[in-house]
Amino acid sequence: MDVALDLLRLLIFPAGLTLLLLGLIYEWVDRKLLAQFQNRVGPRWFQPLADVVKLLAKEEVLPHGVNRWLFIGLPVIGLAGPLTAALYIPMAGLQPSDSFTGDLIVAVYLLSLLTLTMGLAGSNAIGRFSIIGATRTLTQLFSYEAPFLLALLGPALVAGSWQISEIIGSAGGRWLLLTQPVGFVVALIGLMGKLELPPFDAPEAETEIVAGALTEYSGRGLALFRIGRNVAMVVGLTLIAALYMGGIANPLAFVAKTLGLLLIVAALQAVLARLRIDQTVGLWWRYGALLVLLQWAVIIVARGGVS
Amino acid sequence: MKFGSMFSDVLPSLFSSPMTELYPFERREPPARLRALLHWDPEQCTGCGLCVMDCPAQALEILTLDRKAKRFVVTFHLDRCTFCSQCTYSCRQGSLSLSNEGWEVAALSREPLTFVWGEAEDVRRVLAGELPAEGTPPQAT
Amino acid sequence: MVTREPLETFSVPIGPQHPALKEPGHFLISVDGEIVTDAVVRLGYAHRGIEKAAEGRNWVQNLYLVERICGICSHIHAMAYSLAVERLAGVEVPPRAQTIRVLVAELERIHSHLLWLGVAAHEAGFDTLFMYSWRDRETIMDALEGFTGNRVNYSANLLGGVKCDVGAEQRTAILKALDYLEPRTHHYMDVVTSDAMYLQRTRGIGVMTRSQAELMGAVGPTARASGVPRDVRVEAPYAAYGSYPLSMVLDNRGDLEARFVVRLNELFECYRLVREILDTLPPGELQAKMPRRVPEGETISRVEAPRGELFYFIKSNGTDKPERLKVRTPTVFNLMSVVKLVIGHQLADVPMILAGIDPCFSCNDRAILVQPSRGSASLWTWEQLRRHGIEVYHGRRP
């Protein structure tokens, strides 16, 4: 019975199928909001689903000279990462399925597993665009990862624990984005960097390197990477909402808070131009890291001040 | 130096409807001067053939059956026409004009896009292939 | 003695199929990491044999053939052609027709610069600016459609004059479009010169000094952004530009931002010119009588297309078909500057520098014969050209 319940939780709800569906819905909301900001119509509600179905139906072309198992296996691992990360966060407003000390770090690591596999997949293929895209993906990974992680650890520091459910519990419904605004901003923009959304889409700059690391992918592999990206978006938004916006008590709050964050993310996408990869690295290592360290300094001083 | 300078455009767009016209559900009226389907007035035509000579896409052909009686058959290939309206200016009699309708020229085969104008019997003979589409046949019936 | 191994060069092909290019062209960029070390350009993908085709069509048909050399600058090609043929035939075009030609040319310049603004923003990854500038461009397209009868390929020219007259209705429509566009252009100027993230992509990138521009023969707004004061409308006024003088828009910084500023300032100059024309249009006829056979002779015609100086050479042998038509478009020279400028920049700057010259590949696929060492000009026969092509390209991978 327990095993059946676990399987249900893993495969259908809240992880698994529901998460995949949520990923598609959130991708649609993101594209529709971006279109609305640009004064145009945008895709219809079934567009992401249609994209996935079409890609799965297409032939997967294996480029010449790649390692076959890596080529086929990396998208699967890339999708598995965010799906597993979803087990530790309060998906859809329910309690996290699994919870243990340090699961915040594990969740963030699993999210970056997606970026790592994309970088590896790009290096695997021997096309020039893939290699440049892979280099840029990994360079960007090294630039935003540290500030992003530190920003997410800000609430952890306040709560004195590295377990997501405990952090939410100790916040007690308080909105930490009010007391740690800088951390919130860095976390949100770091999420945009992780998902390679504009202005941080240099790794997949369409006008320079076609599709970056995923240039040689088609069919099933591309579909899995795209679904992985969507799931990572949902998971990332839930994580930030849970940590900074006072936890997620019920499905309605889940929808409201994550969509609110998505609105801000879409607005930032519309309003900012793409940065070059060296400018991205410079931005994160100068301003990102500085801001988050400043935030940490404030937190430590505040905590030291209070008992 | 500021960030997000397009914000003043982007924010109001969130609350307004898109600029896109959802054709074919929303159709705009074509402007009066739009160059679309050609019309031929047989009363004015003298069969000089300047329009045929000057068409850059060779979309017009004229068959002269009886010059004095003004019996012509004009074949117009809409699929070749570029809507430049040079023919309307080459014609000194003003027998050609481009209306602003008939601009939706999608078809599944070439037949609907070939227009043959003239007296009914002559048109039938041209379409059946008994008469050529252009030239001056020696016998005038 | 130590010999150094040459660095492994990694070549990235931009084109002929590439999302950065709207038309096919091939740039082979050699990179070292992200820095560009060499660039080679290869053209010819949009070659359609227009100059040869023109020899088989009569003068009237050719008017529409040359109009379709380029979709964005179609009217200016037709205007250059008509000016040359009218000069050969000795026909004097009435002033109202010349002024209307200038009016359509300036409206075309407005639409072309707005199009370019969107495309350049798209190359930088700033899709929002792309969408909004193209949305605003629709106003001028609608005005042109109401005035000439088509949005692209206006076909407003006739040999000897123009087809369409400016009535009160068209005048109101055009003025309304300009009233909408002028504040929007101010807004775009503001965005382009003060948006921090956009300036990071344009300020100080692709700097071309004035001497470099003059050496490489750059023309148009690309050259004017480097301080080279070349504008055919000012230096050698054609059509009605003598009665409507305009000031050259110059900038001496020579980087990408300067090119943006120059083109946007040219837009303001266009608006002023169109308003002045609409207020002071001379009365008169629209067309002069044109003979079907053009007398023998050869002539040239230079006009200012939105991208730079457009040059036509027409030779007639007295019949109703031209003997030789030669077109030299501005993008040909500006492209050479791209090849030199990208060296030393990052790979991400290459599409931006390419977009900065406003490339129009359809315009520029003509056959050019350059003989650097010999002083005399010579012509190649068809056989010689074919043999040369086989020798040069045989065995070389595209």
With beta carbons less than 8 A apart as the criterion, state whether A298 and A211 touch.
no
Q: For the domain made up of C50-356, give the CATH fold.
A: Cytochrome-c3 Hydrogenase; chain B (1.10.645)
Residue-wise pLDDT for A221-275, tens only, equals: 999 999 999 999 999 999 999 888 887 888 888 899 999 999 999 999 998 888 8
Q: List chains adjacent to chain A, taking adjacency as at least 3 C-beta pairs closer than 8 Å.
A: B, C
How many angstroms separate the CA atoms of B136 and C299, rounded?
39
Nearest chain B residue to C138 by CA: give it.
B19
**Chain-chain contact of B6 with A40 (C-beta, under 8 angstroms):** no
Please give the full DSSP string across C88-121, using - where no structure is assigned.
Answer: HHTPPPPHHHHHHHHHHHHHHHHHHHHHHHHHHH
Interface check for B5 against chain C (CB to CB < 8 A): the answer is yes
* Residues C75, C104 contacting (CB under 8 angstroms): yes
Q: What is the pTM of this model?
A: 0.90
Q: In chain B, what are the domains? A: 35-128 (3.30.70.3270)
Q: In A, which residues are within 8 Å of B11 by CB distance?
A: 267
Do A270 and B10 make contact, defined as CB atoms within 8 angstroms?
A: yes
- Full pLDDT tens readout for chain C, 398 residues: 344 444 567 888 887 878 777 788 888 888 887 889 988 888 888 888 888 899 999 999 999 999 999 889 899 999 999 999 999 999 999 999 999 999 999 999 999 999 999 999 988 888 899 999 999 999 999 999 999 989 988 999 999 999 999 999 999 999 999 999 999 999 999 999 998 888 888 888 889 999 999 998 899 999 999 999 999 999 999 989 999 999 999 998 989 999 999 999 999 999 999 999 999 999 999 999 998 899 999 999 999 999 999 999 999 999 999 999 999 889 888 888 888 899 989 888 888 898 888 888 887 766 555 555 555 556 666 677 677 777 776 655 44
The type of residue at C377 is A
Touching C (3+ Cβ pairs <8 A), the chains are A, B
Supply the DSSP symbol for B6: T
What is residue C153's DSSP assignment?
S
The residue in chain B having the minimum alpha-carbon distance to the alpha carbon of residue A270 is: B10
The predicted structure's pLDDT at residue A67: 86
Give the integer Cα–Cα distance in Å for C233 and A137: 49
Q: Which of B83, A300, A121 is nearest to C64 (CA)?
A: B83
Chain A interface residues (partner B, CB cutoff 8 A): 33, 35-42, 267, 270-272
Q: How far is C184 from chain A (nearest CA, A)?
A: 15
H/E run at residue A179: helix A176-179
Neighbour-count burial of C212, counting CB atoms closer than 10 A to its CB (0-12 exposed, 13-18 middle, 19+ buried): middle
**Quick check: A307 pLDDT over 50?**
no
List chain C domain ranges. Answer: 50-356
Closest of C324, C329, C304 to residue C314, by C-alpha: C324
Measured CA to CA, the distance from residue C366 to residue B128 in angstroms comes to 45
Query: Which of C10, C122, C126, C260 would you mutate first to test chain A, the one with the most A CBs within 10 A?
Result: C126
Q: Does A14 sit behind a cis peptide bond, omega within 30 degrees of 0 on the bond before it?
A: yes
Q: Which of chain B's residues have a Cβ under 8 Å away from the Cβ of C141? A: none
Tokens coding B40:
């031929």
Question: Virtual CA dihedral for B8, B13, B15, B18, nearest 10 degrees?
Answer: 170
Residues of C in contact with A275 (CB under 8 A): 197, 200-201
Q: Which helix (H) or strand (E) holds A57?
A: helix A47-57
Q: How far is CA C274 from the centre of its chain?
A: 20
